[in-house]
Homo-oligomer: A and B are copies of this chain.
């Protein structure tokens, strides 16, 4: 679904007003029947003979994904990757607003990233209670990740995106996803060794 949204935005930029399931399939590397099945799960909003209205379908998918509202995000760990994420414009463009960045390192605390001051992580629990962020990004060393996940979960955060390359266990009621870049590379190498027999 998120991918379809990317394709639709791409298509809109090219000035097209409608798109057929076949076009979407070609972009996504699937079949037109697949695309239609996926979309029909949420209702039917295409026009026969014409395809889907790019604007209408985008809007509907944004609704389904919950992107019609703004989301508050905090970042834990202001190291190399945390700092990059804090300054990433792509988040705000899609409705994700970074409202806080935390670290334990005295040398980091107080520094400003894009107008956002790095806070002492001891202030985090109180801030979460007050500002009620929806999602936390965990960008700390692997050893510290599970403890922080438990801590933000307890404080009331319901979604977590983890960047530490370690298996984590999410407490009940918390949605967890992990981005593991070394793992992505491993999937690539598997494909590479596989393709040369």
The interface stretch among A49-57, A79-87, A103-111, A123-131 is: A79-87
- The verdict on A2 contacting B187 (CB below 8 Å), with A80-B88, A181-B90 known, is yes
The interface stretch among A15-23, A31-39, A147-155, A158-166 is: A158-166
B190 touches A65 (CB 8 A): yes
Copies of this chain assembled into the complex: 2
- Collect the chain B residues with CB atoms within 8 Å of residue A135's CB: 185, 188-189
Q: Mark A1-23, 1 if CB is under 8 A from B, else 0.
A: 11101110010000000000000
- The verdict on A185 contacting B66 (CB below 8 Å), with A6-B165, A175-B192, A192-B175 known, is no
- Collect the chain B residues with CB atoms within 8 Å of residue A1's CB: 190
**A6 CA / B142 CA spacing, docked (Å):** 12
Nearest chain B CB to A6 CB, angstrom units: 5
- The verdict on A90 contacting B177 (CB below 8 Å), with A96-B185, A189-B66 known, is no
Q: Mark A180-197, 1 if CB is under 8 A from B, else 0.
A: 111111111111110100
- Collect the chain B residues with CB atoms within 8 Å of residue A144's CB: none
A45 at the interface (CB under 8 A from B): no
A66 touches B195 (CB 8 A): no
Checking B87, B167, B179 against A7 with a beta-carbon cut-off of 8 angstroms, the contacting residue is B167
Nearest chain B CB to A157 CB, angstrom units: 11
**A159 CA / B186 CA spacing, docked (Å):** 11
Checking B65, B67, B165, B185 against A161 with a beta-carbon cut-off of 8 angstroms, the contacting residue is B185
9 A-B pairs whose Cβ atoms sit less than 8 Å apart in the complex? A65-B189, A71-B189, A90-B165, A90-B182, A94-B182, A159-B189, A175-B192, A175-B195, A179-B179
